[in-house]
Chain A
Amino acid sequence: MRETLRAALPSVASIVTSLLVCFVAVAVLRGGLEVALDAFLAMTWGAFGDFPKFFDGASSAVLLRPLGESATKAALLTLTGLSVAVAFRVGLFNIGAQGQLVVGALAAAVVGAAVELPAVAHLTLSLLAAAGAGALYALGPALLKRYRGVHEVISTIMLNWVAVSLVENWLVTGPLRAVTSGDNSIAGTAQIHDSAALPRLVGDVSRLNAGILLAVLAAVVLWLWLSRFTGGFEWRAIGANPAAAEASGMNVGRSFVSAMLVSGALAGLAGAVLILGTEQRYPATIGAPYGFDGIAMALIGNGHPLGVLASSLLFGGLRAGGTRMQLFGVHKSFPELIQGLALLLVAARLVWLKLSAKVLPPKGGA
């Protein structure tokens, strides 16, 4: 318990510090503590449910709608965060979650629109296609690393831009572009069939869909794999010290490849959740850097699947609530600043660990 606490301390301290700094920034730039307090409260109610309104007698929609938005955002953050975290565990830095997400999203959109199947089978096939596409796209960097010694950071950065250029500047605007009635065509692929859509969980009250269940399931499965199975143990051993793992007979090269495949599949699934859950088709552009958010979630969650889930639930909430800050003259992307700052502070892990050694000395004396 004490060890868990010590491991989580840098992340918690970073998040708290980041929230404080951003609070002061709003207070200074937007005229006073009161405005900042109102803005942050608005964000909180927008993230986790408008409890004051609810207790004033409003319907449960004031709770469900914000929670649904938060969970939708959290599902994406969790899956991309797990993608980065799983590669991290074997010591690989997968910056390519963005590219893997883009090809996964495209695969889900194509299978969702082009195939006709009964409901459950269609959804499953679309999800599998996305996971497969993401995994395949991550296979390249893994093989380049294993056989040519190319650093995965460089190769995944390159592949991100290759994916975005080819998908958004060619496929989606060219061969796969949806042609609606007559000559009027819109950028983006055709609408997916209802049978491929992730089911909504609470009817029409909120956009909440089954994506969050998928994300939680992935986090739990990954946690069990890493903590209870030999294969998961090997990954962690390799991440901690590849030379020692190699010397004790583990196949480091093969684990690099299999971990990258899982990492890519998770990023691809994130793309599927985006398309099958909210967008319903591959739009002209995905726009947001979801894959980079995944890096933030993986690191703030300290590479632990449940830590990633926890930080994704928090930041998914804040980002959904961020839209409510607009009323106070704060741009809705403000929670991304909080998130970025928290990541920057987490990066200074060593500093926090030194501090925490003073606050919580390890057993048996410092």
Chain B
Amino acid sequence: MLLALLQSVLDAAPALVFAAVGATLSERAGVVNVGVEGMMRAGAFAAAAAALVMPTPLGVLVGVAAGALVAALHATLCIHARSDQVVSGMAINLVLLALGQFLLEAAFSSPSGTPPIEQLPKWLGHSPLTWLAVVLPFVVHGAVMRTPWGLRLRAVGEKPQAVAAMGVRVTRLRFGAVVLSGGLAGLGGAQLSTAVLDRFENHMPAGLGFMAVAAMVFGRWSPLGAAGAALFFAFGNALRISLASSAPGLLEVVPKGFLLALPYALTLVVLALQPRGASRAPAALGQPYDPELR
């Protein structure tokens, strides 16, 4: 039972881990990313659509590129047009929600999903992306916390003017961080359509993007923290699904709705309990960079 549970976490968690780790990159650089949901959707759709005409691993790369492309749009709006970052992110979610439906209908004449594709091959019983999701949080954490690039990235999210004074191009650094963030969200989406299932379905990613944002906040904006929170949330999900089949009696006592609400409620409780001013959110988060300010 426990082993089966762990197995299902290994399948379900990677999408959330990629998206949550990606979200930290964008936000540590000072750009709010509530468009993760839309970027994941782009990745899931593009990967499945591409895998119909090319090998699935290449399709996954197309999914990554699609997420990055959507993120580039977000970055252009936030950084160059100085739009409200939350507005831009929500707009991206709404556009991708409708665009996915439209393209499904236009390209595949089906409102519900793409035709099936060949799933990613399995290594040791799981998709290669699962193993990537095990390694990646450490790599990103190391890059953000231990390299000169990471130091600049974090500084740009705290006090961009200071970084600019050092001669670093603030806008380029932020743009890169947002695009990387979108690429990872796209990878998460691609994992849904090429490894968890074998097609894109219209409901994807069904709120996982918002859960990734919750995981990022819960993990206090650190890549490892976000990945840990994502794992925890995914474990909770897997537990709920396995309980539904193995111990349906328990769900009479603890309704499914409670378990579904738990990750979000927990994140809220943590936020509400932390002392005022102890938030780990980057100081310049959400503020467009204005080189005129000092």
A interface list, Cβ under 8 A from B: 25, 29-30, 93, 95, 144, 147-151, 153-155, 157-162, 165-171, 173-174, 289, 292-293, 295-296, 299, 329-331, 333-334, 336-337, 339-341, 343-344, 346-351
Tell me if A333 and B256 are in contact (CB < 8 A): no
Give Cα distance in the complex from A29 to B103, angstroms: 9
B interface list, Cβ under 8 A from A: 32, 34, 73, 77, 81-84, 86-88, 90-99, 101-102, 104-107, 109, 111, 207, 210-211, 213-214, 217, 255-258, 260-261, 264-265, 267-268, 271-272, 274, 276-277, 279, 281
Give Cα distance in the complex from A161 to B213, angstroms: 12
Minimum C-beta distance from B143 to chain A (A): 25
Task: Determine the main DSSP class of B at the interface with A.
Answer: helix
Q: List 7 A-B contacts (CB under 8 A).
A: A154-B267, A157-B264, A162-B265, A168-B257, A169-B260, A289-B94, A347-B88
Tell me if A340 and B98 are in contact (CB < 8 A): yes
Contact of A150 among B88, B99, B257, B272 (CB under 8 A): B272
Tell me if A158 and B267 are in contact (CB < 8 A): yes
Task: Determine the main DSSP class of A at the interface with B.
Answer: helix
User: Taking CB as reference atom, which chain B residue is nearest A345?
Assistant: B91
Tell me if B83 and A348 are in contact (CB < 8 A): yes
Tell me if A331 and B207 are in contact (CB < 8 A): no
Tell me if B98 and A334 are in contact (CB < 8 A): yes
User: Taking CB as reference atom, which chain A residue is nearest B78?
Assistant: A347
Tell me if B101 and A333 are in contact (CB < 8 A): yes
A331 contacts across to B, CB distance below 8 A:
101-102, 104-105, 111
Minimum C-beta distance from B242 to chain A (A): 17
User: Taking CB as reference atom, which chain A residue is nearest B216?
Assistant: A154
Minimum C-beta distance from B73 to chain A (A): 8
Minimum C-beta distance from B99 to chain A (A): 6
Which of B106, B217, B257, B272 is packed against the most chain A CB atoms within 10 Å? B257
Give Cα distance in the complex from A157 to B213, angstroms: 9
CB-CB under 8 A for A157 and B34, given A333-B98, A344-B88: yes
Contact of B97 among A30, A95, A336, A350 (CB under 8 A): A336
Tell me if A343 and B91 are in contact (CB < 8 A): yes
Tell me if B95 and A340 are in contact (CB < 8 A): yes
Contact of A170 among B91, B94, B211, B257 (CB under 8 A): B257
Tell me if A149 and B276 are in contact (CB < 8 A): yes
Minimum C-beta distance from A310 to chain B (A): 19
